Amino acid sequence: MKLNPAQNDAVHYVSGPCLVLAGAGSGKTRVIINKIGYLVDKCGYKARNIAAVTFTNKAAREMKERVAQSMGRKEARGLWISTFHTLGLEIIKREHKVLGLKPGFSLFDDQDTLALLKELTQDELDEDKDLLKSLASTISNWKGGSSFQSRRAKSLKMNSSNYLLCYISVMLST
Ligand SMILES: Nc1ncnc2c1ncn2[C@@H]1O[C@H](COP(=O)(O)OP(=O)(O)O)[C@@H](O)[C@H]1O
Ligand SMILES: [Mg+2]
């Protein structure tokens, strides 16, 4: 597969990060496909140690197909080609022990979260959608942020259920 000079440079540059900035349909994905092949064939990397991250699941499917066509299905086996979120989830699944999670842990999307909170706060919040959303977003901030509450909850080693109950009581008292 013939590459133009700029694509060629990007494919063969493997000593650090490389930003390819070009318009739609100009051959960026082709660079990535060829670079993966180059890393495996010429640089001795194992497919399972290479991750390619896309923005959408559709793009990931397309990239998987193009890589398999270009390198061969067998050689492409083990490559990590997925969205950022799927990659993160796969890492958490593999490393669940380190994180103290059970192997079959489940992942809640926004709807699951709201449904559970609705169930748990039936009497207190009376299914008030705004309050439920605010509750969900504050819990999310606690989990991701370095807020005072987050640190305090960690230091108290709360489990998720008393964390939630504690939070609900804070909400109701403010
Ligand atoms: N150097 C090249 N020579 C010929 N065709 C190319 C070249 N680079 C890319 N293409 C073709 O152009 C089309 C768009 O390439 P693609 O890599 O999907 O672009 P992008 O990811 O930038 O949208 C594809 O059909 C691809 O095979
Ligand atoms: Mg592309």
Q: Nearest C-alpha to atom 2 of ligand 1 is from which residue? A: 3
Q: Nearest C-alpha to atom 15 of ligand 1 is from which residue? A: 27
Q: How far is the CA of 5 from the centre of ligand 1 (A)?
A: 13
Give dist(CA 101, CA 93) in Å, integer. 9
Is the Cβ atom of 69 under 6 angstroms away from ligand 1? Answer: no
Tokens 């060629």 belong to residue: 8
Is the Cβ atom of 96 under 6 angstroms away from ligand 1? Answer: no
Atom of ligand 1 nearest to the CA of 26: 22
Question: How do the pLDDT tens digits run along the chain, 174 residues long?
Answer: 699 999 999 999 999 999 999 999 999 999 999 999 999 999 999 999 999 999 999 999 999 999 999 999 999 999 999 999 999 999 999 999 998 999 888 888 889 989 999 999 988 888 899 999 998 888 888 877 655 554 554 544 444 555 555 455 545 444
- For position 140, what pLDDT does the model report? 85
- For position 149, what pLDDT does the model report? 53
Q: How far is the CA of 28 from the centre of ligand 1 (A)?
A: 7
Q: Near ion ligand 2, which residues have CB within 5 Å?
A: 29
Site to probe by mutation for ligand 1, drawn from 30, 31, 62 as the one with most ligand atoms within 8 Å of Cβ, is: 30
Distance, first Cα to last Cα, the chain? 65
Determine contact, residues 132/118, Cβ cutoff 8 Å.
Answer: yes
Q: Specify the pTM.
A: 0.72
